[in-house]
Each structure stands twice: as C-alpha cells, then as structure tokens.
Structure 1
Amino acid sequence: MRRTAFFLIFGLGGAAILISLGVWQIQRLAWKEGVIADIDARIAADPVPLPADPDPVRDAYLPVTATGTPGDAYLRVLVSQKQIGAGYRIIRALRTDGGSVLLDQGFLPADATIDAMTPDAELTVVGNLQWPQETDSFTPAPDLAENIWFARDVPAMADALGTRPILVVQREAPETPGAITPLPVDTAAIPNDHLQYAITWFSLAAIWMAMTVFFLRRPTARPTQG
C-alpha cells in the first residue's frame, strides 16, 4: 500500500507540474502571436513623413517616407541570403531637411559592385524605422580597413557616417535600378518557439505517467524463504 501511494503521489505530482509548464507555454504562445501580429500591422501600415524626433520605443517599425540626398560613403554589413549566399547590407547617410539619418538600402551580393550615386540627386525612400539589437559581447569589432561590419550598430554607424542615430530600412525598390535589393523589415527574426516547448512538456508528462503506470503494475519482489 505504501509503495502504491508513493508512486501515485510522485507520478501525479510530477505530471501535474509538467502539464502546468505546457499550459504556460501555450499561454506564452498566444501572447507572442499577438505581439507579432501587432508588429506586422505596424510594419504594413501606410507610411507617414519621417518624424522630427522619432523615439526608439514609440516609433519602432513605424512606416515612413523620407526625402533627401544620399551620401557617397557607405558601410557594408556582412549578411547571408538563402539561395544567394554571402553579401552585404549597404548603409548610407541620407541628408534630409531635418538632418542626416541612416538609410539601409538592402542587400548587395558579395561579387556585385555598387552603382555610383548621381551627385546631389534627391531620393524619396519608403521604409520602416528600426533600432535593431544585433550586437552583443561576441560581436566582432568592425573591420574599418575593409569596410566590413558584422552587425547593424546604429549609434556606431551614425558616428561613422556623421548622422543622427536613426535607421530607415528601405522596403520598396530603389528609384534608380541597381544591384542592391531591399531587405524590408519583417518579423521573421522574432523567436517564437513556445509551441515546441509546449509539445516537449506535454510529451514529458505523458512519459512520466507511462513510467508511473509501469512501476505501479510491476510486481513487488517477494522475499525468499530460507
């Protein structure tokens, strides 16, 4: 009787904990899907003129139009695209009436060359504001000699190009055709693994219960008589 009670308490208690963790992950999944849906709606909204003083929290993903003159200098951020391979994000300064901002023009294959910008040519860009969090303690410092950056570090890139720490990520094709392909802002990089976590916890709960039943049905060894 004591053995049965022990396995029942141990088995049901452990299964309850594992199931509660699975339910919590389902709740987190619903929350994360709501967050992603909200961001998707913000990204796809109609663009507005670039605010005079955008806020990194309030205006994250805000669709904007910006008109200005792109600078000749550019930064290359190392990235990779499926079915294409390695290449670079091209970051330029865009000189607007409200001051210079960073412009992420998009992807340039590693073996392609950049078309020369027409001097003093005004450009109207449709894109989204973004302050990406791509750097950490493991991110290498940029190779300034080769003009290769390993992440979009908005403050550092702004210092390098002499702009405000504001990044507009172009989402439509450039007015002047060239080798650069826009990489619009999306939610693909936002992690959402809560369903997999929930399945894992529920699977562990099922295994836990199966092992409990196994031990409950396992016959008790009887002592041998001498």
Structure 2
Amino acid sequence: MRHLIFLLVIGLAGLAVLLSLGAWQVQRMVWKQQILDVIDSRIYADPVGLPESPDPIADKYMPVRLVGQLTAGELHVLISTRNLGPGYRVIAPFETADGRRILVDRGFIRTAAKAHERNTGKVELIGNLHWPDEVDSYTPPADLDKNIWYARDVDAMAAALDTLPIMVVLNEHPINGSHVRPLPINTASIPNDHLQYAVTWFSLALIWAAMTAYFLWRSRAKTES
C-alpha cells in the first residue's frame, strides 16, 4: 500500500510540474504576441518627421520620412538570408535637410556587388528607426581594412562614419541602379515559439500520466496476486 501511495505522490507531483510548465509557456505565448502586436502597430503607422532627439526605447520602430542627401562612404555588415543567400547590409551616412548626419540601412547587396559604386545624392526616404541588439561576447570585431562588420553596432558605426547614433532601416530603395534590395523591419524575424514549447510540455504531461497509471496498475496487480 505504501508503495502505491509513493508512486501516486510522485506521479501527481511530476504531472503538476509538467502542466505548470505548459501553462507558463501559454502565458509567455500570449505575452509575446502582445509585444509583437505593439511592434506591428509601430512599424506600420504613418511616417513622421525625424524626432529632434530620438529615444532608443520609446522611438524604436517608429516610421519616419527623411528628406536630405545620401553621402559617400558606407559600411558592410556580413549576413546570410534564407531567400537571398550570403551578402552584406549596406549602412550609409545620410544628411538630413536640417544638417544632422545619421545612419541608414539601405538594404542587401550580394557578395559580388561589394565593390560596386552605389548612387548617392538628394533623396526622400521612408523607413523605421532602429537600434539593433546584435552584438554579444561572441561577435567578432569588425575588419576595418576589408570593411566587413559582423553586426549592426549603431554606436561604433556612428563613430566610424561621423554620424549621430541613429539608424533608419529603409522600407524601399528609391535610387535605381544601386543593386540594393531593402530589408525592412518586420516581426517575422522575431520568434514566438512558445506554443511549440507548450505542446511539448503538455505532451510530456500526458505521457507521464499514462506511465504513472500503468505503473500503479502493475503495482496493484502484483500486490493482489
């Protein structure tokens, strides 16, 4: 009898833990979706003028309209995309009509186009303010001689191009002949895998319950025999 009680206690405790983990993942899924909805609402709002002093938290993803001039000099961030393959993001300096210099992420170029000259000049741009969080302890330092960066480090890039630490990721590229494909901001690159995790925990809970019931049945059958 004590053996059966012990198995029952262990079974119920394990089941409670697995169910609680599954429920927690469901809560995380709802929380993450709310964040993604907020980001979407920011990304696709009507564009406004560039704020005087954009805030990296409050103004992240804000759509803006820029009027000014793309100037010479650019930085290349090594990336690989599922649809386009290996290449570079082109980060270039932009001078606004009021004289501020900022960074713009013009978009993607293929590896073979790295040395090509891209058009500059007066232009009107639409994009989203962004301060990417791509640098960690594993990120290699930029190869300045070859102009190869491994992450969009806004502060370091601003220092390299003598701009303010402000980046705008373009929604479209208005200058033809530059072989640049825009990579606009969207929430598709922000994973929300909590449903998958929840299903895993609930599946384990079901298996655990079945195994507990089986062992209880076997133990009871042995006791009665």
TM (normalized to structure 2)? 0.93
Secondary structure in 1 aligned to 2:7?
Answer: helix
**What is residue 190 of structure 1 aligned with on the other side?**
190
How big is the shift at 1:174? 1.8
Deviations 1:45-84 (A, max 9, x none): 1100011100001100000011111121100000112243
Q: In structure 2, how many angstroms separate the alpha carbons of the residues matched to 1:171 and 1:43?
A: 10
2:168 equivalent to 1:150: no
Secondary structure in 1 aligned to 2:86?
Answer: strand
TM (normalized to structure 1)? 0.92
**What is residue 2 of structure 1 aligned with on the other side?**
2
Q: In structure 1, how many angstroms separate the alpha carbons of the residues matched to 2:150 and 2:78?
A: 5
Match of 1:117, as an amino acid?
N
Give matches, 1:43-122, under 5 Å. 43-96=43-96, 97-112=98-113, 113-118=115-120, 121-122=121-122
Cα gap change, 1:173/1:71 in structure 2, threshold over 3 Å: closer, same or farther? closer
How big is the shift at 1:217? 1.2
Gaps of 5+ in 2: none
Match of 2:215, as an amino acid?
F
Q: In structure 1, how many angstroms separate the alpha carbons of the residues matched to 2:215 and 2:55?
A: 60
Q: CA RMSD in A?
A: 1.5
- Tell me, yes or no, if the aligned pair for 1:114 and 1:180 is still in contact at 8 Å: no
How big is the shift at 1:221? 5.3
- Tell me, yes or no, if the aligned pair for 1:52 and 1:98 is still in contact at 8 Å: no
Deviations 1:191-211 (A, max 9, x none): 311111111111111111111
Match of 2:116, as an amino acid?
I
- Tell me, yes or no, if the aligned pair for 1:39 and 1:61 is still in contact at 8 Å: yes
Q: In structure 2, how many angstroms separate the alpha carbons of the residues matched to 1:13 and 1:83?
A: 47
Match of 1:17, as an amino acid?
V
Percent of residue pairs bearing the same amino acid type: 51
Cα gap change, 1:70/1:63 in structure 2, threshold over 3 Å: closer, same or farther? same
- Tell me, yes or no, if the aligned pair for 1:78 and 1:151 is still in contact at 8 Å: yes
* Stretch moving more, 52-61 or 202-211: 202-211
- Tell me, yes or no, if the aligned pair for 2:119 and 2:178 is still in contact at 8 Å: no
Q: In structure 1, how many angstroms separate the alpha carbons of the residues matched to 2:222 and 2:205?
A: 27
* Stretch moving more, 174-183 or 92-101: 174-183
- Tell me, yes or no, if the aligned pair for 1:92 and 1:105 is still in contact at 8 Å: yes
Q: In structure 2, how many angstroms separate the alpha carbons of the residues matched to 1:12 and 1:95?
A: 65
Deviations 1:86-130 (A, max 9, x none): 110001110111410001000001112534435xx2111100000
Which structure has greater helix proportion? 2
Match of 1:84, as an amino acid?
L
Q: In structure 1, how many angstroms separate the alpha carbons of the residues matched to 2:102 and 2:3?
A: 71
